[in-house]
Structure 1
Amino acid sequence: MPLSRKLERIDRRITRWLADNSLTILRVSLGIVFFWFGFLKFFPGLSPAQDLAGRTIEVLSFGWVEPALSLPILATWETLIGLGLISGLFMRGTLFLLLLQMIGTILPIFFFPQEVFVRFPYAPTLEGQYIIKNLVLVAAGLVLGATVRGGKIVPEASVAEQAERLEAKLRP
């Protein structure tokens, strides 16, 4: 068998494996991140984001919810998101909590721009980088959200095209 055919077979196997497993890997790894970062917030001083998160919630609540109360709630919230993602249970609810939490993480850009940027809008501080990286978490959540009704990654374009043709025939 020529080398090019062997490489093609290997490439197809790898692509099939990725299509079969990457969503689970994405879901579990995202869950680990949320669980880990949430769990750290239960212990004062361990989360680098806790001060900014506490002050953001305080501003959002017009001063009614102080960081001493909001951080354990946020820790529980993030830990539950992590457990939901790791287990794959209650995915719609888990992803809804993730979306709300991600909206909250963007707010410091507007509430505390002097802490988020060294030079607005192009030179973020470490806290700003922490917030900006959340775009990747949002994108991962969107990908997972696209699969809650059983969607899958299709390893071959021809299979996707066949599914689209079938779907078009079934539409009223």
Structure 2
Amino acid sequence: MTTLIERPAPKSATAPAATQPIEAGVARRTPFSLLGDLADVVIAVFKPFAVPMLRIALAIVYIWFGALKILGLSPVADLVASMVPFVPAETAVMGMGIAEVVLGLALAVGLFVPWIAAIQVAHLFGTFLVFVVHPDVAFDGNPFVVTLEGEFIAKNLVLVTALIVVATHTAKAKRAKAAAIANR
């Protein structure tokens, strides 16, 4: 296994380099090299499950936040309703909640993952409109100081990136599987 940091054995100041005794296969262990080994083991164990775990985590967030909207318990219901003023508030929040639950369930089951992820990315990009439409809600008087609502929306950058990772990994795996079947 490779490690993050390996230090060479110190050379003796009195003996020339050519006459230094060689310790065959003995490496000095440091706390950093041990941590590197541990990191390598953790990565090796979780690598096959990382993207599926990410897909399930995203599904849980979508289902959870959607269910809160459906149940009338969402702390952002007023903000959601204000983004579509031409739709009755209750209809807008309920519709968004139902859409989020359906998208989350499809992601959890693994149906049409790249398509579902694309829809979710579009939805999340839509949430950034709050910064333009309601800057007073998103910012605290300074474009670099966000409110609680602004932080809630800004974290969608991470969700967008995670959805892109899941979509691209799923599409790549699907193509590899199809190629393997075609080569049989």
Same fold (TM over 0.5): yes
If you compute each CA radius of gyration, which structure gives the higher value, 1 or 2? 2
Range with greater deviation from structure 2 (128-137 or 79-88): 79-88
CA deviations on 1:67-88 (whole Å, 9 max, x unpaired) are: 1211111001111121122111
User: Which position in structure 2 is the counterpart of 1:155?
Assistant: none
User: Which position in structure 1 is the counterpart of 2:93?
Assistant: 71
Does residue 31 of structure 2 align to residue 31 of structure 1?
A: no
CA deviations on 1:69-123 (whole Å, 9 max, x unpaired) are: 1111100111112112211112122112201210221111100000111123111
Amino acid at match of 2:53: I
Identity of aligned residues (%): 30
For residues 43 and 104 of structure 1, the distance between their equivalents in structure 2, rounded to whole angstroms, comes to 22
Shift of 1:25: 1.0
TM-score by length of 2: 0.71
User: Which position in structure 2 is the counterpart of 1:100?
Assistant: 122
SS in 2 for 1:89: coil
Q: Pick from 74, 78, 81 the counterpart of residue 47 of structure 1.
A: 74
TM-score by length of 1: 0.75
Q: Pick from 93, 114, 119 the counterpart of residue 141 of structure 2.
A: 119
Higher helix share: 1
Amino acid at match of 2:146: P
Aligned-residue CA RMSD (Å): 2.2
Partners of 1:77 and 1:97 within 8 A in 2: no
SS in 2 for 1:137: helix
For residues 11 and 125 of structure 1, the distance between their equivalents in structure 2, rounded to whole angstroms, comes to 36
For residues 93 and 29 of structure 1, the distance between their equivalents in structure 2, rounded to whole angstroms, comes to 17
Identify unmatched segments of 5+ residues in structure 1. 153-172
Amino acid at match of 1:38: G
SS in 2 for 1:118: strand
SS in 1 for 2:161: helix
Amino acid at match of 2:41: R
